[in-house]
Structure 1
Amino acid sequence: MTVHTRTACEQDRARCQFIEAGATPSLSYIDDTWTLFNAMPGGELIISMLDQEVGGYGQFSPLFGPYGWLEALRIHPDYQGKGLGKAIYRRYLEKMAEQDITAVGMYTGVANVVSKGLAERFGLSLRGRFAEYTCPVEEPLQASADFGFLPVPQPTRPLPGSPTGNFFVLNRTFYPAEPGALEHFAARGWLFEDGAGSRLIAGARFQPHKALHVAHLEGDDEKCLRFAQALAAEIGAAGLTAVRSVEDGEQDRLFQAQDFIRGAGELITLWLGL
């Protein structure tokens, strides 16, 4: 039997949905990200095959500058342990070289030793442990415009320092807190400032109906969160989500005081070249 990879095509869509349902029945997004993944400049949705049977897939996504993201790797249970995941990682590293990307990362749950072990086999190493906080969106008392925040086309000032953990996280995508990050967020309309010293990064790479992801707070944190709640309600997001380093006690206290629920499990991110 031969394991090989190729680029996904439209005819693979239903099969990828089937693979996802078998591999991660409680975490589904391939249908919502299908167009995003397949149209992404420099990206590739990689199909992994055993002979002529499609058994898995994974996405290679450029982030900004020299950074890339390895995501959505799914192998159907019937094909696990047969080398399909390793084949995807080999293609990941080929894409890394083709795109002149010098650092790539991924995330998984802290208890997922198989996913962590596969990443480590290809040279990635642990760069941090993180907690995820969620809060349902309620009808806001104020409109988002009342808070004075506006999306800015360019950051007006650098970060006062790197966030604890050194990453900004949206949709469980870990963006290194490196030069170019703020410009990347601003270009996508995710960087907001109020002109009075407060600033936040909030947006969604995909599935905006599920959550508005709050990647950074600066200045008046409570005001930033109230604005995020109002904005989420206006765009139809069901909730707010934030991911922070488990070492960030200040943010942990803030989110729990604002009625966010901390997830029972932790997330970890592993990187190569960072």
Structure 2
Amino acid sequence: MEIILRKATPEDKEKTIWVESQSTPNLSYVPHVWDMFINDKEGDWSVESVDGELAGCGKYSILPDGSAWLETLRVIPQRQGLGLGKRLYEHWLKLSEEKGVKTMRMYTGINNAVSSGLAERYGLSTVETFHGVKMEAKPFKTEHSFKRITDVEEATELLLPLGEQWGNWIVLNRTYYKWSPAMCKWLTEKDMVYKDDDGNVVVMGARFMADYQLHIGLFHGDAKTCLDFAKANAANIGVKSIHCLYPQRFNEIEKQLLDNKFVMEPAPFIVKEINL
């Protein structure tokens, strides 16, 4: 049996989409991120074949703070148990050594023992548990004075002190970022930072699939004002749903979201980390 791990090529697109459809039929987004992944020169988008047939894939992404994010690890059911996931982790550890990356992280569902166990095999351990909420986006309007902040220095000065209120995490598209000046700069350059005349703050947008989902990374101040602005923004963009994830220990954030008609995700998520 010949197993090969290599860089993905444009010709692998349809087969990789098929791999994802077989391995995680309820979580499929490769069609939406293919171009972003394959054009990422800083990270790595790999596929694996068994006896010439594509059977797995995995993405290694460098986040704004210089850490590595391990994502989209997929192996078709017929080829699970052959060590394809292990090969990806070994590849990622080697990449981190070559690139001088000091931290790697990943996430999985709290009940996904296989994914969690594989990460632990390579030294990653749980650092935070998250709850998530969501809401169907519907037509919505509200009066507001929110304006986008475009100056990086102003946004960083505003946002950095707010990080602790969210456990120094911010989550977009289930990508779990640590709070940092580099993250504040990235959010500002991506047009995600808003403040109104009363000092209310909202960070929202999407890492990908911006036409489908709006992700609230942080809100501060009057919760209803902030969340109504997010709902109006979602309606204006025309997305299908609004999402927010936060450390489970922040009960007040959860209460504010539920009070504003968000509904809980079925199960928590865990983030695992290794410092190299």
**What's the TM-score, normalizing by structure 1?**
0.94
Aligned length: 272
| C-alpha deviation, 1:41, in angstroms | 3.2
Find the aligned partners of 2:262 and 2:198 in 1 and give their Cα distance. Answer: 26
- Equivalent residue letter for 1:225: L
Find the aligned partners of 1:162 and 1:95 in 2 and give their Cα distance. Answer: 31
Q: Is the 8 A contact 1:48 1:85 kept in 2?
A: no
Find the aligned partners of 2:67 and 2:133 in 1 and give their Cα distance. Answer: 25
SS of 2:140's partner is coil
The one of 130, 148, 151 equivalent to 1:150 is 148
- Equivalent residue letter for 1:246: Q
- Equivalent residue letter for 2:36: L
- Equivalent residue letter for 1:187: E
CA distance change for structure 1 residues 188 and 108 in 2, over 3 Å: closer, same or farther? same
| C-alpha deviation, 1:128, in angstroms | 1.1
Find the aligned partners of 1:198 and 1:183 in 2 and give their Cα distance. Answer: 19
> Where does structure 1 lack aligned partners over 5 or more consecutive residues?
none
Matched, 1:205 2:203: no
Find the aligned partners of 2:208 and 2:163 in 1 and give their Cα distance. Answer: 28
Q: Which runs of 4+ in 1 moved over 6 A?
A: none
| C-alpha deviation, 1:136, in angstroms | 1.4
SS of 2:270's partner is strand
**Per residue, is there more helix in 1 or in 2?**
2
| C-alpha deviation, 1:164, in angstroms | 3.9
Find the aligned partners of 1:27 and 1:222 in 2 and give their Cα distance. Answer: 30
| C-alpha deviation, 1:203, in angstroms | 0.8
SS of 1:93's partner is helix
Q: Is the 8 A contact 1:168 1:174 kept in 2?
A: yes
Match of 2:272 in 1: 270
Match of 2:58 in 1: 58
Q: Is the 8 A contact 2:166 2:218 kept in 1?
A: no
Map 1:111-190 onto structure 2 (within 5 A): 111-142=111-142, 146-154=144-152, 155=155, 156-157=157-158, 158-190=160-192
Match of 1:100 in 2: 100
What are the superposed Cα offsets for residues 81-138 of structure 1, whole Å, 9 maximum, x if unpaired? 0011111111111222233221111110011000001111111110111111001122
Q: Is the 8 A contact 1:152 1:192 kept in 2?
A: no
**What's the TM-score, normalizing by structure 2?**
0.93
Return 163-172 or 53-62, whichever deviates more. 163-172
Match of 1:248 in 2: 250
Q: Is the 8 A contact 1:57 1:75 kept in 2?
A: yes
Q: Is the 8 A contact 1:147 1:227 kept in 2?
A: no
Q: Is the 8 A contact 1:50 1:84 kept in 2?
A: no
Find the aligned partners of 1:148 and 1:54 in 2 and give their Cα distance. Answer: 48
Aligned residues: percent identity? 31
- Equivalent residue letter for 2:54: V
Q: Is the 8 A contact 1:126 1:270 kept in 2?
A: yes
Return 183-192 or 154-163, whichever deviates more. 154-163
Return 251-260 or 173-182, whichever deviates more. 173-182
Root-mean-square deviation over aligned CA pairs: 1.6
What are the superposed Cα offsets for residues 207-242 of structure 1, whole Å, 9 maximum, x if unpaired? 123210001111222211111111111111112100
| C-alpha deviation, 1:194, in angstroms | 2.0
Matched, 1:81 2:85: no
Q: Is the 8 A contact 2:172 2:217 kept in 1?
A: yes
Match of 2:16 in 1: 16
Match of 2:31 in 1: 31
